[in-house]
């Protein structure tokens, strides 16, 4: 298969602690520049200590790497795959230096965040630019994939299976990471609200495909000042609302996450389930895509698609639902940094016009 001009794939993720001594330093990396006291970080760190002081995210990335390498080999793709994190070892800057030392000159980046927002896209592109400073390598981010069948399909499949075993009247709650409302407003460009629009589109597709009669969208993992508005309702508040409406059974679908990392196993499997138990709600949570074969194949398909685009070929961009396939290059005013204007990789030269097609 022709992958020119790329000579490597870089898996780009958030990162997480792998032992108790890593927890607070990791959280300091995540919150750098925000002036959050160490005492507050130690309080948040208790979530990790419930699981031995280790986030599952790195092991899940290792599983995804293994699955990608197997898929590539089975499909005749001879391309090295590297891995770098924004906030913990292996860091992006180390991955960039290793690739350059290995002779890689242009790598495609698959980011483990499917949706548009500052924290889910632009911040990664800022860190990727920083990682390449002084390094002779070019990094290119593959497009968002929230509406790709390789992402939507595994959620639909898992939700359909849970509903088949659930009592009649079960309510499906789709859950994603909350973000400040101002960040949502800026996602996809000023006033676009791409973050919420994309999640609502995915939720509707999964609900229809799984045969869900009753569903809603809720949020988890709110942080920061209580005076700053974030997207609501919180999953725990929403479970109480549903219980008050007479709902007795829920199936929770974490459509905001590609794998079962901390927000899933703590916010949903621990806190959310505890709330449901207190209310007497039947509560089941479906699997995230993880290393599902369709999700793994999607990465390969996105890589081949972008390589063809870079060679000037015409491609059919696969996308489900009412929103178009996402762009390859982000407009300059897409998902703006709320605190400063930092350089990024993968930026187009123009802003989004008022009459242009909404982007993801």
At residue 331, φ and ψ (nearest 5 deg) are: -55, 155
Give, in words, the CATH class of 149-285: alpha beta
The maximal CA–CA distance of the chain, rounded, in angstroms, is 61
The predicted structure's pLDDT at residue 223:
82
Strands (E), the chain: 8-13, 81-85, 106-111, 138-141, 171-177, 215-220, 249-253, 282-285
Q: Which fold has domain 8-145+291-310?
A: Rossmann fold (3.40.50)
First CA to last CA distance, the chain: 28
Domain chopping of the chain, boundaries: 8-145+291-310, 149-285
Average pLDDT by stretches of 10, the chain with 360 residues: 95 97 94 80 89 96 98 98 98 98 98 97 97 97 98 98 98 98 96 97 98 98 87 98 98 98 96 98 98 98 98 96 96 90 86 43
Give the model's pLDDT for residue 38.
Answer: 84
Residue 360, pLDDT score: 40
**What's the pLDDT at 39?**
84
Q: What is the pLDDT at residue 57?
A: 97
Residue 334 gets which letter from DSSP? Answer: T
Q: Do 8-145+291-310 and 149-285 fold alike per CATH?
A: yes
């Amino acid at each position: 298969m022709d992958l020119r001009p790329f000579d490597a794939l870089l898996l780009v993720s958030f990162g997480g602690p792998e032992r108790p001594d890593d927890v607070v330093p990791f959280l300091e990396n995540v919150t750098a520049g925000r002036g959050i006291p160490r005492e507050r970080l130690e309080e948040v760190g208790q979530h990790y200590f419930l699981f031995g002081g280790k986030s599952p995210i790195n092991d899940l990335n290792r599983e995804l790497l293994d699955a990608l390498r197997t898929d590539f080999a089975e499909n005749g793709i001879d391309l090295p795959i590297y891995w770098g994190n924004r906030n913990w070892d292996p860091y992006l800057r180390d991955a960039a230096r290793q690739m350059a030392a290995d002779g890689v000159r242009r790598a495609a980046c698959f980011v483990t965040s499917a949706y548009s927002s500052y924290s889910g896209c632009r911040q990664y592109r800022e860190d990727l630019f920083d990682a390449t400073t002084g390094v002779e390598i070019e990094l290119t981010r593959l497009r968002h994939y929230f509406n790709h069948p390789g992402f939507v399909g595994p959620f639909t499949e898992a939700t359909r299976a849970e509903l088949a075993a659930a009592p009649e009247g079960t309510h499906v709650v789709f859950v994603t990471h909350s973000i400040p409302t101002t960040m949502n407003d800026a996602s996809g460009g000023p006033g676009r609200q791409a973050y919420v629009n994309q999640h609502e589109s995915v939720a509707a597709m999964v609900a229809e495909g799984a045969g869900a009669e009753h569903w809603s969208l809720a949020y988890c993992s709110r942080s920061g000042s209580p005076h700053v508005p974030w997207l609501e309702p919180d999953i725990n508040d929403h479970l109480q609302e549903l219980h008050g409406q007479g709902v007795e059974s829920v199936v929770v679908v974490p459509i905001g996450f590609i794998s079962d990392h901390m927000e899933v196993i703590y916010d949903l499997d621990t806190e959310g389930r505890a709330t449901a138990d207190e209310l007497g709600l039947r509560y089941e949570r479906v699997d995230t895509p993880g290393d599902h074969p369709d999700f793994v194949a999607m990465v390969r398909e996105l890589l081949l698609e972008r390589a063809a685009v870079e060679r000037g070929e015409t491609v059919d961009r696969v996308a489900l639902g009412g929103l178009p396939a996402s762009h390859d290059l982000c407009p300059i005013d897409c998902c703006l940094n709320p605190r400063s204007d930092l350089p990024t990789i993968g930026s187009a030269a123009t802003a989004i016009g008022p009459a242009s097609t909404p982007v993801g």
